[in-house]
A and B are shown apart, each in its own frame.
Chain A
Amino acid sequence: MIYEGKQKIWADYQKEIPDDHYFYVRSCIRQSFFPASEATFLDITRNRLGKDIFETEHHTTCGGIAYHSDTIPQETVMTIIARQFALMAKNGYENYVCSCITSFGLYCETMETWREFPELEAKIRENLWKTCKLDFAKPKYLIHASDLIYKYRNLIAKQAVHKLVNVHTGQPLKVVEHIGCHYSKMFPSKGVGGAEYPYVLVGMIEAWGGEIVDYPERRHCCGFGFRQYFIKGNRGYSLSNTHKKFESMEPFHPDFIITNCPGCPYFMDRWQYVIAESTGKTYGQDGHGIPVLTYEEVAGLVMGYDPWDLGLQTHQVGVEPLLDKMGIEYDPEKKYQGKGGKDIGRPEPCACLK
């Protein structure tokens, strides 16, 4: 691997990210899968970085899941999106930040489509007016939440309490980065670093002292694939995709995986459990899995948040080995205690996955 070669490509795909005043929209499924992530994002950006991030309870889903499951037509999706944009404009923002990769891809797709077919945009404007009596303005900047963390990666590094380094060996942690398919595969120019070697997560890892490993199936989908998962008959297919990725990354012995998409961490985390329990195969050290973290969680760890406040207990794959490597203090007792110390229940012990 020739690092300079990658740098050349990264140089070709730089994207402009505004400095402040962001309109933030959440992801449907992250809120339930890894609820602490978005909270952490807001806390970091608002309180640690002192940025103006506005969010409104009036925003809805972007419709992406329905759209990608072929259950609603494109115009409907576009109208939903137009409404979100209207909300942004109404609140006086022009930098649109979304927490979800599916949404990000869909927003890009929509804006590109409107650029190609202005008449369609006009039609949507009309739809929105008919339905909600709202008018919308297209965002000046459309960015994904991970782009923001990327932008402030060095500031975060400055405030870092922990580094992505194995405190016992002093070696940088080996990190696998997994980018949501819809981040830049559709529009390479819209993602930091393009589609082949996206830099958005790599940048964070490098800034925080870790080392990225490129494994053959790094481009491969996590296996979510919407209807591939929703329909039980297809779940084997979803599982096999994830399996393929882990088989491919195994020889590189990564310490953890960092992701920037709602579905990916969920599936790469839960499918490790399914693979272990149904085939007996585990990919981490001595029977453990490979922890799969969101970029907010990683940022949080680096900045010294308590692992349980970051919601790491909601992961199927135990994060303790990673915390130990990073030399992060944690209280095992508190793992399954929610706010005010009340028990949030524990998962069934696994037969194969430690």
Chain B
Amino acid sequence: MKNNVLIVGGGPAGLEASSQLQRLGYNVILIERSTALGGHLAKWDRLFPSGVSARETLKSLMGHIEGVKYFTDTEVQSINRLEKSYNVILSNGITVLADAVLMTTGFDLFKASRKEEYGYGIYNRVITNADLEAYFRNGSDPRIDNPKRIGFVHCVGSRDEKAGCRSCSKVCCATAVKQAMEMKQAFPDADVFCFYMDLRLFGRHYEDMYLSAQRDYGIRFIRGRVAEVAENADGSLQVKAEDTVASKPLKASLDLLVLMAGMRPSVSGRRVGDLLEMPVEEDGYFSVKEGIVSGQKSPHPGIFLAGAATGPKTLPDTLADARAAAVMIDQYLSDVFPEAKHYKNLVRELW
């Protein structure tokens, strides 16, 4: 017989893990809360550092899940542990007997309106990184009207204990630099400013991206967090920050302000976690069993974690994490259900 593996969350991690497990000869059931697979990737336009199309990336991920049973608009209703496996009842009425569960519940974007001083949802010309990606995808946004001066605020809801998130969201700096360059491409005679606390660009090619942003696009990087935004009589924005390099307070009027909303643990993911009594750490992300050693194992047998469910990750990190999880699940099931082995080998010969 085939082992059932339930994957909760149809984002990149879920998709990659399901395709891997499918190839390993498991019966994969993938559920997604929203109406479409792809998670945040489905909403993004281009990806750093090389600027590849998110659409294409998602398409290639989707290309490998044939045979995977997936249900969208579906949530976990109840879940309880049997002797070896889990009995899961889905919101669409289907009941799954899962021998292993993989939580790829991902993250929510920080609600930028919570940083009241930035006036997101109050000032007409304040938008978020997600809004900008949407603009790049479908080319129109009433708030973006040929801006001459554009500001990017890094660390919105990241590294900000009062906003409930002490940690760094890892992807915002790179995204900000990418989007700054894209805006410069879209509006060549605009001045673009990036307000950062620390530039956390450490991956391969990221430094080239930073250099190119400065040298080729003339983007100005100002070390200092925007602390106050206001609207001028003419509707333009007045932002205040400190240029901590010059150690002087700074004021600028801008036509557009882009907030780099950070990553927060997925609320609905957390709900499923609570059904399983999965422990979370102070930062709100699920805790893993033995930290570094087994990054994808949860403290509960047969329940695994991958992707941003265990903290902010870049897309490559997430995919690698998903593959690792697939391997771990395979090991686990091979140990718990030795009899299924020969069948798996049969399937693997097919590939």
Interface residues of A (CB under 8 A from B): 1-2, 5-6, 8-9, 194-197, 214-219, 251-252
Chain B residues with Cβ below 8 Å from A8 are: 113, 121
How many whole Å from A186's CB to the nearest CB in chain B? 13
| B window 169-212: CB within 8 A of A | none
Residue pair A216, B232 in contact (C-beta under 8 Å): yes
Interface check B238, CB cutoff 8 A = yes
* Complex CA–CA separation, A215 to B228 (angstroms): 13
Chain A residues with Cβ below 8 Å from B119 are: 5
Residue pair B116, A2 in contact (C-beta under 8 Å): no
Interface check B108, CB cutoff 8 A = no
List 26 A-B residue pairs with CB atoms under 8 Å apart, sorted by A's residue number: A1-B122, A2-B123, A5-B113, A5-B119, A5-B121, A5-B122, A6-B122, A8-B113, A8-B121, A9-B122, A194-B116, A195-B116, A196-B117, A197-B122, A214-B230, A214-B231, A215-B230, A215-B233, A216-B230, A216-B231, A217-B230, A219-B228, A219-B230, A251-B232, A251-B233, A252-B233
| B window 261-280: CB within 8 A of A | none
* Most B-side CB within 10 Å, residue of A8, A216, A218: A216
Binary interface profile of B, 215-235, with partner A (CB < 8 Å = 1, else 0)? 000000000000010111100
* Complex CA–CA separation, A352 to B116 (angstroms): 40
Consensus secondary structure, chain A interface: helix
Known: A1-B123, A2-B121, A2-B124. A9 touches B116 (CB 8 A): yes
Binary interface profile of B, 293-326, with partner A (CB < 8 Å = 1, else 0)? 0000000000000000000000000000000000
* Most A-side CB within 10 Å, residue of B113, B117, B233: B233
Chain B residues with Cβ below 8 Å from A216 are: 230-232, 238
How many whole Å from A10's CB to the nearest CB in chain B? 11
* Complex CA–CA separation, A251 to B230 (angstroms): 14
* Complex CA–CA separation, A195 to B228 (angstroms): 13
**Which of A2, A194, A217, A218 lies in contact with B122, CB distance below 8 A?**
A2
Binary interface profile of B, 123-138, with partner A (CB < 8 Å = 1, else 0)? 1100000000000000
Beyond A5-B113, A215-B233, A219-B230: 18 further Cβ-contacts under 8 Å? A2-B121, A2-B122, A5-B119, A5-B122, A6-B122, A8-B113, A9-B116, A194-B116, A195-B116, A196-B117, A197-B116, A197-B122, A214-B230, A216-B230, A216-B232, A217-B230, A251-B232, A252-B233
* Complex CA–CA separation, A194 to B113 (angstroms): 14
* Complex CA–CA separation, A6 to B123 (angstroms): 10
* Complex CA–CA separation, A2 to B119 (angstroms): 9
How many whole Å from A189's CB to the nearest CB in chain B? 13
Chain B residues with Cβ below 8 Å from A5 are: 113, 119-122
| B window 91-146: CB within 8 A of A | 113, 116-117, 119-124
* Complex CA–CA separation, A216 to B117 (angstroms): 11
How many whole Å from A278's CB to the nearest CB in chain B? 24
* Complex CA–CA separation, A278 to B261 (angstroms): 47
Nearest CB in chain A to that of B237: its residue? A216
Chain B residues with Cβ below 8 Å from A196 are: 116-117
Chain A residues with Cβ below 8 Å from B238 are: 216
Q: What 4 A-B pairs have minimum CB-CB distances, sorted nearest first?
A: A216-B230, A5-B122, A196-B116, A5-B121
* Complex CA–CA separation, A6 to B116 (angstroms): 10
Chain A residues with Cβ below 8 Å from B121 are: 2, 5, 8
How many whole Å from B126's CB to the nearest CB in chain A? 10
Nearest CB in chain B to that of A12: its residue? B116
* Complex CA–CA separation, A252 to B228 (angstroms): 19
Chain A residues with Cβ below 8 Å from B122 are: 1-2, 5-6, 9, 197
Chain A residues with Cβ below 8 Å from B230 are: 214-219
* Complex CA–CA separation, A288 to B344 (angstroms): 89
Nearest CB in chain B to that of A13: its residue? B116
Nearest CB in chain A to that of B228: its residue? A219
* Complex CA–CA separation, A252 to B238 (angstroms): 15
